[in-house]
Amino acid sequence: MEKGAGVISLPFLRADAGAAAAAATLCDVRRAAPAARASEHGRLEVMLANYLPILIFLGVATALATVMLLLGTLLGRLSARKTHEDPAKRSPYECGFEAFEDSRVKFDVRYYLVAILFIVFDLEIAFLFPWAVAMGNLGLFGLVAMGIFLAVLVVGFIYEWKKGALEWD
């Protein structure tokens, strides 16, 4: 048979010292692979064990929510059967007299403006307390930043005052 005719020469199949060392290393890796897999499997079990309390919490929460919904539905249907016979319960209002006015009354926009202004200036106070507590650590930069913040709020307050948003005529 001629050399190369129908014979495939693979470098890792040569019988020399390098091939023997490579084969030995391959055998060592194969022997070490189950130990590495076991170690990796152990780390995976530890990681999953850390998530077990979360899984238990979600399961208990789901079960509790389901039980509460079913109990509410069941008790509501059982108690509703007894009250449907009462004509007062079927009337639109239980306060004793019929409504004398439409309940859909438009609110004045100024009510909402005053409510928004209250929230804005209430938040100002909410920002002032932590700033006052940490003022010793903030130094001059904290003082200037709070001064700018308060200046913007004062300008907004003066603008609202001049526009008459705070007057309730």
Predicted pLDDT at 21: 55
pTM: 0.36
Under 8 Å between Cβ of 169 and 108 = no
> CA distances (Å), 33 to each of 28, 29, 37, 43, 44, in order?
8, 6, 6, 15, 16
Report the distance separating Cα 152 and Cα 34, nearest Å: 68
> Cβ(13)–Cβ(19) under 8 Å?
yes
Cα–Cα distance between 10 and 109 in angstroms, integer?
88
| Cα–Cα separations (whole angstroms), residue 16 to 3, 26, 152 | 19, 15, 84
Q: What is the percent of the chain with per-residue pLDDT over 70, rounded to a whole number?
A: 62
Residue 138 has pLDDT above 70, yes or no: yes
User: How far apart (Å, rounded) are the C-alpha atoms in residues 44 and 52?
Assistant: 12
The string of pLDDT tens digits covering residues 81-122 is 665 666 666 666 656 566 666 667 777 777 787 788 888 888
Confidence of residue 1 (pLDDT cuts 50, 70, 90): very low
Percent of the chain with pLDDT over 90: 15
Report the range out of 27-36, 92-101, 157-166 with the highest average pLDDT.
Answer: 157-166
Reported as a single tens digit per residue, the pLDDT across 56-88 is: 999 999 999 999 999 999 988 887 766 566 666
Q: What one-letter code names the amino acid at 151?
A: A
